[in-house]
Amino acid sequence: MASHRKSRTPGTRVAGIRTPALATAALTSVALLSQTATAAPSDDGRPSLEEVEKKVDDLYRQAESATEKYNAAKERTAKQRKQVDTLLDDVAERTQKLNDAREELGSFAAAQYRNGAGIPDTATFLLADTPQDVFDQRQVLDRMTGRQKEAVDDYVTQQSETMKKRREATESLRTLTETQGDLKTAKATVQKKLTDARELMAELTAEEKARLAAIEKEKQEEAARKAAELARQQAEQRKAGQETAARQDGGTSGASGPDSAASPSTSTDSSYATKAEKALAFARAQIGKPYVWGATGPGSYDCSGLTQAAWKAAGVTLPRTTYDQVDAGTTVPVSQALPGDLVFFYDDITHVGLYIGNGMMIHAPKPGTYVREESVYYDGESSIHSVVRPA
């Protein structure tokens, strides 16, 4: 894991790579499609195609945001349930110890009765509403034998610890109940947003769906052009870096010993590349598997579930949600992204993909889709939030 961690800054974008304007023909095509899509609502009050597209996109985004909240609540629920189980086991164990201590005090009380000692001091203590108060009375303590004093002390200790653990268990149960409520709310939100999106799409005619498909194709072609431009820039940067390294090596060709060893940055890059290769190999093997919100594999994934599983295959533990993964490494510019880096999207950091080079990534896009390779500009340059190197 990288030693330098960035602080989360919602809404801050890492600048992408600006590309030349579209060719005239492409611009004309987009303009015509847009004019068709933005037609005014029909006389029957139906929204325009553009309004439907925007609404559906917004619903999917909201569903993805709710999914990450669900993932976070699910993770907290699992931790809290484990904590509650541990506390309850501890309470049960301490309650048994308390009962054992009470039995030992009872045996002393019985012995005092048999010896005709009147009201036994241990019985007075055992039946008191506040045993500690009785224990604090010096005259009672002075009449007890050494073993009785030990038994009383053990009883008071066990009672205090048991009460403390019971309070902790009660508070943990309350917190668990609240988190389970958050989990239920997030789940209901996801399901509602997805249902609304499906219903909107179901109302479209075949012609409208075809027009939406044409618009989406244009968007993907533009995304591919931007990815190619990013790949070109990164190739130029690598070439410049290699030329610089060659000049430096040429100036120190006669050197020997420790000073001639590879630089720390080179060693670090090599180590990262090895881990990234394993993460990418895992991600590629998941291509074609369905996006399922809240899923972490092996048969399906959501976006952060895929990136977490991929880096786990490389021996690196990432947090579960996009909100936490964005802080699990070092932020780098888009232009310096390396294979294996995490690419985050949107101001609310609700989507993530795994960079594979040449402006492309592997990600689990949204419900109804499958894990696939796609341009990091799939939803426009402005959608990229940041790039993080996790190891």
- Counts for the chain of helices (H) and strands (E), in that order: 10, 6
Tell me the β-bridge partners of 370.
290
Query: Among 74, 193, 351, 366, which one carries the catalytic annotation?
Result: 351
**E-strand stretches of the chain:** 330-332, 342-345, 351-357, 360-363, 372-375, 384-389
| Residue 82: partners with Cβ closer than 8 Å, 6 or more residues away | none
**E-strand stretches of 316-383:** 330-332, 342-345, 351-357, 360-363, 372-375
CB 15 within 8 A of CB 331: no
Separation CA 357–CA 262 (nearest Å): 24
Sheet holding 351-357, edge to edge: 330-332, 384-389, 342-345, 351-357, 360-363, 372-375
Is residue 351 flagged as an active site residue? yes
Task: Kindly give the residue spans of alpha helices, DSSP state H, lying in 295-360.
Answer: 303-313, 322-325
Is residue 363 flagged as an active site residue? yes
| Residue 207: partners with Cβ closer than 8 Å, 6 or more residues away | none
DSSP string for 161-177: HHHHHHHHHHHHHHHHH
Query: Among 74, 94, 289, 363, which one carries the catalytic annotation?
Result: 363
Query: Among 144, 186, 303, 388, which one carries the catalytic annotation?
Result: 303
Is residue 303 flagged as an active site residue? yes
Q: What is the set of active-site residues? A: 303, 351, 363
